[in-house]
Amino acid sequence: MGINKVILVGNVGRDVEFRATQSGQNLAKFSLATTDRRFKDENGNPRTEWHNIVAWGKLAEICDRYVTKGKQLYIEGQIRTRTYEQDGQKKYFTEIHMEQMEMLGSKSSGVGTPGEDYGAVAQGFPDDADDVPF
């Protein structure tokens, strides 16, 4: 038995890229920054990690409609690592395939409704998820 679950709270780093795959499945991707103020980099700045987020189906549509750069999100999902070859070298690319999302912040901040849960509309991963060329 194995468990593959990740929980992130962070800020969206870029606006959502939204499209449909060749099979017609909706796909959204964006970056999410998580900052740990307890640890500093060599310049004394808080350590920030960047995560590549992927959403499918109805959840992708919700991301396209409501998620913009700077918004704070709570995300649950699975870690997926893909490999590809570039210039004869094997490269690895890690993504978080989102299963559930909550928009955090207040309405007045333009971030969304606290605790608003969009996870119930998440649909499973499509069969062609490994064929996405990015």
Q: Which helix (H) or strand (E) holds 128?
A: none
Has residue 134 been placed in a domain? no
pLDDT per position as a tens digit, 67-104: 999 999 999 999 999 999 999 999 999 999 999 999 99
3-state secondary structure of 13: coil
**b/e sequence 101-126, b meaning 16+ C-beta within 10 Å:** bbbbbeeeeebbeeeeebeeebeebb
Has residue 131 been placed in a domain? no
Can you tell me the mean pLDDT for 2-6? 96
Give residue 118's pLDDT.
Answer: 46
Show Cβ contacts of residue 15 under 8 Å, excluding neighbours closer than 6 positions: 30, 67, 68, 69
Give residue 73's pLDDT.
Answer: 96
Has residue 43 been placed in a domain? yes
Give residue 125's pLDDT.
Answer: 46
- Residue 46: CATH number of its domain: 2.40.50.140
Has residue 47 been placed in a domain? yes
How many folded domains does the chain comprise?
1
* Stretch among 15-19, 38-42, 44-48, 105-109 having the lowest mean pLDDT: 105-109
Give residue 107's pLDDT.
Answer: 53
The phi and psi torsions of 12 (rounded to 5 degrees) equal -65, 130
How far is the C-alpha of 129 from the C-alpha of 74, rounded, in Å?
Answer: 23
> Structural domain of residue 53, as residue ranges?
6-126
Average pLDDT, the chain: 83
Report the DSSP beta bridge partners of residue 104. none
**Structure-block tokens of residue 83:** 């490999």
Has residue 133 been placed in a domain? no
